[in-house]
Amino acid sequence: MLRPYMVTVKEQNMPAYICKTCGVQFTESDNPPETCPICEDERQYVGHNGQQWTTLDELRSEHHNVFEDVEDNLIRIQTTPGFAIGQTPFFIKTPQGNVLWECNSLIDDATVETINQHGGLSAIGVSHPHFYDSMVEWSHAFGNIPIYLHESNRQYVMCPDDVIHYWSDETFAINDSLTIIRCGGHFEGSSVLHWADGAEGRGVLLTGDTIMVASDRRYVSFMYSFPNYIPMNASGVRQIVAAIDTFDYDRIYSPWANKVVESGAKNAVHRSMERYIQHISG
């Protein structure tokens, strides 16, 4: 049986508009917001046809989520046809509860049913504002589970809610096997997720936009803005690598299909840092 949404009269009368370019949902309003601050930031962009909006109901009529097994206890969720920047969250199974890392815009009954068949969700963690999407809707669909965001990115939350919990240290442990690490760089609070049990116990990093697996998957790269081709400075790259260096990891997943360093990821990060800094230094 599909799990129904408990929709209030307020929500029925006032839609929560979603930016078509970045996919972030805003708080309920009679009319669409005038602008999307996340898209107007220099790390993102306003669509070529101007600011456009949709709603969750419209998305549900035209899109659905596909679940892909990536490795044991790790599932990627992808919306099809593609929407916004193609955000693909990861569903991670752990003995202390299942966690969604990153978010997308589409949450529907079929998605909830599939996740519940895998044991449900206990928490959501998000790396940075370009993956905030419909995170509050996701939380509400699973009984108001906590969403963990870094405090320094609070200004980019377009749909405030009591389910959002802000952390402010350099790391935050969701449970014994999952730790969020603040790396900075892309955003001040940009973070990665360390999964100690991943890669057959050798450790996995789920990196958001902080560390991007290159097409040559022996390397990764770093950017202040990927769509606008603004490079990271050397100190920002060193800060990212230093933040993760005390953690053991052998595999990296960036949040799009085929963006994976299968093994030797820690060496790949150091090799990539040295190459990157050499090129931007002239």
Domain ranges within the chain, ordered by starting residue: 13-281
> With a threshold of 0.85, does the pTM exceed it?
yes
Positions in the chain short of pLDDT 50: 1-11
Assigned CATH for 13-281 = 3.60.15.10
Please list the residues that pair with 134 across neighbouring strands: none
Taking phi first (over 0 means left), then psi (-120 to 50 degrees means alpha), and beta for anything else, what does residue 218 get? alpha
What whole-number distance in Å separates Cα of residue 252 and Cα of residue 204? 6
Note the pLDDT of residue 143. Answer: 97
Note the pLDDT of residue 257. Answer: 85
Structure tokens at 106: 């589409």
Give the closest residue to 53 by CA, choosing from 36, 37, 75: 36
What whole-number distance in Å separates Cα of residue 267 and Cα of residue 279? 19
What whole-number distance in Å separates Cα of residue 189 and Cα of residue 154? 9
Residue 212 to residues 185, 235, 268, Cα–Cα distance (Å): 12, 17, 12
Give me the helices (H) in 45-150, please.
56-62, 109-117, 135-141
Note the pLDDT of residue 12. Answer: 54
Q: What is the DSSP string of 48-78?
A: TT---EE-HHHHHHH-EEEEEEEETTEEEEE
